[in-house]
Amino acid sequence: MELHNLKPAEGSTHREKRIGRGQGSGHGGTSTRGHKGAKSRSGYSKKVGFEGGQMPIQRRLPKYGFKNINRVEYKAVNISTLQTLADKLGINVINPQVLKENGIISSKDLIKILGNGELTSKLEVTANKFSKSAVEIIEAKGGKVVTL
């Protein structure tokens, strides 16, 4: 096999449908558009969401809910994750920089520490927000909670 004799597999390619190029092409006359009506004419485009006259879905379904523009989204990090990180790295200070370097959060995330899991080491944890249970668990082990 050489570059000059490469070709696609049998049946994998199709000829282009050359529309409006005379009767000999088999697609002359109406150019596969049928007879008359808006769809046969140039410049036709149907409305987005048009369903042939049937009541469209965006009008059939009622309005629902709202988006709170003041909502603050936090990335949840559990106590168990902090413990795993502390064991793996052998550290006792956990802050957003450490979490970012280890791929737990991305640079713009706000962090909330949640109290799911066991904590065995004394940690100093820095985050934007803490749940009550997380604060209790960290402080019970003699650790320190720093809110940004």
- In the chain, what are the domain boundaries? 74-147
**Class assignment of domain 74-147?**
alpha beta
**CB–CB of 124/92 below 8 Å?**
yes
Q: For position 75, what pLDDT does the model report?
A: 93
Nearest to 126 by CA among 141, 108, 148: 148
Report residue 126: phi and psi, to 5°: -115, 125
For the chain, 148 residues long, give each residue's pLDDT as a single digit of tens. 899 999 999 999 998 999 999 999 999 999 999 999 999 999 999 899 999 999 999 999 999 999 999 999 999 999 999 899 988 888 889 989 998 998 989 989 899 999 998 888 888 999 999 999 999 999 998 988 989 8
